[in-house]
Amino acid sequence: MGRRALPALLAVVAAVADARGAHGLAFDALFAAIPFTAVTALVCFGEHLEHRAGSLSGLQSLLWGLSLALLVLSCAARSPATQTHTLPPLGASALIACLAVFGLKLALTGLPYLRRLALHPAKP
């Protein structure tokens, strides 16, 4: 569970750092999130191939890949090689899109529990 939550936590740290003007810290947090996201995407895709439980696991692994691409794009846009000490619009947009993907993943994770609750309501 921690392996799946750490990339989202680091992306949130990066967004908060960007809001406070600490763009260097945001870059470091995003750069640190990339390997964790890559490993989680590979593990999730492997689990999907192994079990083929349903379309939800395939969608989850696809969203992990998308979030990895967005993290890499955001890091590339705000790379120290550009020598700008401001937040590029592409870097901010990619981070916001990545946070939206993480929010969608959170909603998809809770979907089976809502279905179960709807099928078997609590007894009064």
What is the pLDDT, as a whole number, of residue 94?
A: 95
CA distances to 52, 65, 76, 112 from 92, rounded to whole Å, are: 35, 19, 11, 32
Distance linking the first and last C-alpha atoms of the chain: 33
Q: Work out the average pLDDT over 19-35.
A: 91
What tens digit of pLDDT does each residue of 52-98 get? 766 778 888 899 999 999 999 999 998 875 666 778 889 999 999 99
Cβ-Cβ contacts under 8 Å for 93 (sequence gap 6 or more): none
Do 86 and 23 meet the contact criterion of CB atoms below 8 Å apart? Answer: yes
What tens digit of pLDDT does each residue of 28-49 get? 999 999 999 999 999 988 888 8
Q: Work out the average pLDDT over 13-37.
A: 92
Count CB neighbours of 68 within 10 A: 23
